[in-house]
């Protein structure tokens, strides 16, 4: 049974991190790593999962000794922390799988990663896992087809301690018709909004 360590890199103290403001309310991070927890729900049952959010906890040598493979999901602002995670994994010969907004946009600039799963992963993640388990995984997986978010599984909130977060996050839709120059949402999710069902959201609320 493979052990997969899912690592969410640390935000810098200011942008997105809100490190110093969070100290006033006794929390470690503003919100959980929703994307990574959603990917966690896509793993087959034969995998044992562990999540380390570097905004709330440390990744120990024991974590890396336990892991057969490390998965990361990274925003651009987390680039520096991602580099440190990759370096530690490389030094201990633990394979690294990277996804999220930063690798999707800049994968060619990221060294030390064994496999990239880019963009929205619902359509390609099952194939990647099958290939990885068979020892035939390619270096890069992506799909131009936008997934049906009504089929997206519920995030695995049970893998983290929700008490460490100042707020919770739910994703109702993907895609945006606007064109803000500072935002990469349209590059990642397209310009057409795709929404989850009311039933999905109610189930996610129940998990919280």
The mean of the pLDDT values for the chain is: 93
90 vs 57: CA distance, rounded Å: 20
**What CATH number did the domain enclosing 8 receive?**
3.40.50.280
Task: Between 27 and 156, name the one with better pLDDT.
Answer: 156
Residue 23 φ then ψ, to 5°: -60, -30
Model confidence band, residue 16 (pLDDT cutoffs 50, 70, 90): low
Q: What is the pLDDT of residues 48-92, one digit of tens each?
A: 999 999 999 999 999 999 999 999 999 999 999 999 999 999 999
Q: What is the pLDDT of residues 141-156, one digit of tens each?
A: 999 889 999 999 999 9
Average pLDDT over residues 96-122: 96
- Domain extent, residue 13, equals 3-207
5 vs 8: CA distance, rounded Å: 10
Split into its structural domains, the chain has a count of 1
pLDDT at 98: 98
- Residue 137: pLDDT over 90: yes
For the chain, the helix, strand and coil percentages under 3-state DSSP, each to the nearest 5? 40, 15, 45
Average pLDDT over residues 125-150: 95
| Burial zone of 182 (CB within 10 Å; 0-12 exposed, 13-18 middle, 19+ buried) | exposed
- Residue 187: pLDDT over 80: no
Residue 65 φ then ψ, to 5°: -65, -35
- Residue 133: pLDDT over 90: yes
173 vs 120: CA distance, rounded Å: 13
- Residue 44: pLDDT over 90: yes
85 vs 70: CA distance, rounded Å: 9
How many of the other CB atoms lie within 10 Å of CB of 149? 20
101 neighbors 76 (Cβ within 8 angstroms): yes
Helix (H), strand (E) counts: the chain: 8, 8
């Amino acid at each position: 049974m493979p052990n997969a360590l899912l690592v969410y890199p640390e935000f810098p103290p200011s942008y997105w991190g809100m490190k110093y403001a969070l100290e006033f309310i006794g929390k470690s991070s503003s919100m959980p790593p929703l994307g990574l927890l959603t990917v966690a729900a896509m793993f087959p049952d034969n995998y044992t999962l562990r999540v380390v959010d570097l905004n709330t906890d440390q990744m120990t040598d024991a974590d890396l000794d336990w892991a057969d493979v490390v998965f990361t999901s990274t925003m651009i602002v987390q680039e520096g922390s991602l580099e440190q995670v990759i370096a530690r994994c490389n030094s201990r010969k633990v394979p690294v799988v990277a996804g999220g907004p930063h690798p999707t946009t800049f994968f060619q600039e990221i060294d030390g990663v064994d496999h990239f799963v880019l963009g929205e992963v619902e359509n390609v993640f099952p194939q990647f896992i099958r290939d990885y388990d068979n020892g035939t995984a390619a270096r890069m997986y992506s799909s131009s087809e936008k997934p049906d978010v009504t089929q997206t599984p519920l995030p695995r909130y049970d893998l983290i301690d929700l008490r460490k977060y100042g707020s919770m996050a739910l994703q109702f839709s993907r895609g945006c018709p606007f064109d803000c120059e500072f935002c990469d949402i349209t590059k990642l999710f397209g310009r057409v909004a795709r929404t989850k069902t009311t039933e999905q959201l109610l189930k996610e609320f129940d998990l919280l």
